[in-house]
Amino acid sequence: MSRVTNVMLSVTSKDRANAEEFSKWLKEDCPRVDPRDKATGCGDLALITDPETHNWGGYKHPECDVYAGTLNHARVGSVIDRFGRVPWRVPSAVQLFVMDQEEFFFRVWMIRDGAPRQYAPTSPIEEDDAFWPSEETESTEQKRARMARRIAEEATAGGEIDGILAEFRTHNADIIDVIFAVRTGLGVDVGAAKQVVVTSVAWRDYADAQRQYLEWAEKTVLRDAD
């Protein structure tokens, strides 16, 4: 099960070396979103504006230095923190663009007053009703994405997700939706996600009462997801 974070980094030519060092840290030392996963390294960035190799449109070569890459299982908060601690030679010019799993627009981070600050709008975000067109009801994928984001944020902060699972149960969430949300939020496979849900205090009795439903789901929905 992957957990993809799309990342772009824009720097001046004076900070190419720092960009390479930042990419090396991502590849070798970046913490992963699951605090139980002690492995490090989530991917790296590549220069996409090289005059000889770029695939940009237009009649001219790009006149900027932009690096891009996809990270897997990256702890986004740690990526942003590291971005803020790099000794950039021109810190006012660097920009970090981040689009995490189940997000639909890039968050833009810049260095101001010695710290990373987000300069794209902070709201609405994907789990807000106002984010989606008013005539569009929330799809299953959007609902699971909203739930998964809550779980991922809590897990990244080192907290327990039992309270969030209890909240989902209180609001009569479908147990299959909850399992898929845990799968995405924790970056685990479906089997592990189901184990987390059905053994939690909030869902234990309900899961027992729904045993036949879960057995059917394992043969169809959950089986096809792995």
In the chain the first and final C-alpha atoms are separated, in Å, by 8
Count of the separate structural domains present in the chain:
2
Residues 11 and 110 in one domain: yes
Would residue 124 count as lying in a domain?
A: no
Residues 74 and 40 in one domain: yes
Condensed to tens digits (0 to 9), the pLDDT of residues 154-169 reads 888 777 888 888 888 8
Average pLDDT over residues 186-207: 80
- What is the domain range of residue 163? 129-225
Show the tokens assigned to 31: 């913490």
Residue 55's pLDDT is 87
Would residue 137 count as lying in a domain?
A: yes
pLDDT at 125 over 90: no
The residue out of 118, 140, 172 marking a domain boundary is 118
Average pLDDT over residues 190-213: 75
Q: How confident is the model at residue 190 (pLDDT cuts 50, 70, 90)?
A: confident
Residue 171's pLDDT is 76
Would residue 213 count as lying in a domain?
A: yes
CA distance 56 to 114: 32
The residue out of 61, 88, 118 marking a domain boundary is 118
Would residue 157 count as lying in a domain?
A: yes
Residue 30 backbone zone (phi > 0: left; psi -120 to 50: alpha; other: beta): beta
Would residue 123 count as lying in a domain?
A: no
Q: How confident is the model at residue 118 (pLDDT cuts 50, 70, 90)?
A: very high
Residues 10 and 109 in one domain: yes
Would residue 190 count as lying in a domain?
A: yes
Residues 109 and 142 in one domain: no
CA distance 50 to 128: 39
Answer with the residue of higher pLDDT: 209 or 104: 104
Q: What is the mean pLDDT of the chain?
A: 85
pLDDT at 224 over 60: no
Q: How confident is the model at residue 198 (pLDDT cuts 50, 70, 90)?
A: confident
Residues 110 and 137 in one domain: no
Q: In what order do the strands lie in the sheet with 95-99?
A: 46-47, 65-72, 4-11, 95-99, 107-112, 115-118
Residues near 11 by beta carbon (within 8 Å), at least 6 away in sequence: 18, 19, 65, 67, 88, 90, 93, 94
Residues 79 and 134 in one domain: no
Average pLDDT over residues 55-78: 94
Residues 180 and 135 in one domain: yes
The residue type found at 30 is C
CA distance 24 to 214: 44
Residues 8 and 110 in one domain: yes
Would residue 177 count as lying in a domain?
A: yes
Residues 143 and 110 in one domain: no
Question: pTM here?
Answer: 0.63
Would residue 219 count as lying in a domain?
A: yes
